[in-house]
Amino acid sequence: MIYSLLILFTIVLIVGHIKKADIGLAPVMGIMIGILYSYNDHEDGREHWIQCCVFFVSITVVWNDPPDGLN
């Protein structure tokens, strides 16, 4: 199980580099395991969030797509 979470952690980092996203690392107070994907639509495009938590570390990747979907 721990290896699969570390693989997901690595995939999240790769997606962040491909999308040229903002990547943030933060400590977690306690123990947390999981992954989250979310998006919000705005007038200037869609904002995507991927967050992966593995025990004491949380990585957050945020990027924006233009409103017409063109990169």
User: According to the model, what pLDDT value does residue 48 have?
Assistant: 92
User: According to the model, what pLDDT value does residue 70 have?
Assistant: 57
Residues 6+ apart with CB under 8 A from 17: 23
Q: How many other C-beta atoms are found inside a 10 Å radius of the C-beta of residue 12?
A: 20
Our measurement of the distance from residue 52's CA atom to the centroid of its chain's CA atoms, rounded to an integer in Å, reads 6
In a domain, 60, yes or no: yes
Q: For the segment 37-66, what is each residue's pLDDT rounded down to a tens digit?
A: 999 988 888 899 989 888 888 889 998 887
Q: What's the number of domains the chain is made of? A: 1
Q: For the segment 20-39, what is each residue's pLDDT rounded down to a tens digit?
A: 889 998 998 888 888 899 99
In a domain, 58, yes or no: yes
User: According to the model, what pLDDT value does residue 39 have?
Assistant: 93
Which residues form the domain of 61?
2-65
User: According to the model, what pLDDT value does residue 38 have?
Assistant: 94
Q: Are 61 and 23 in contact (CB under 8 A)?
A: yes
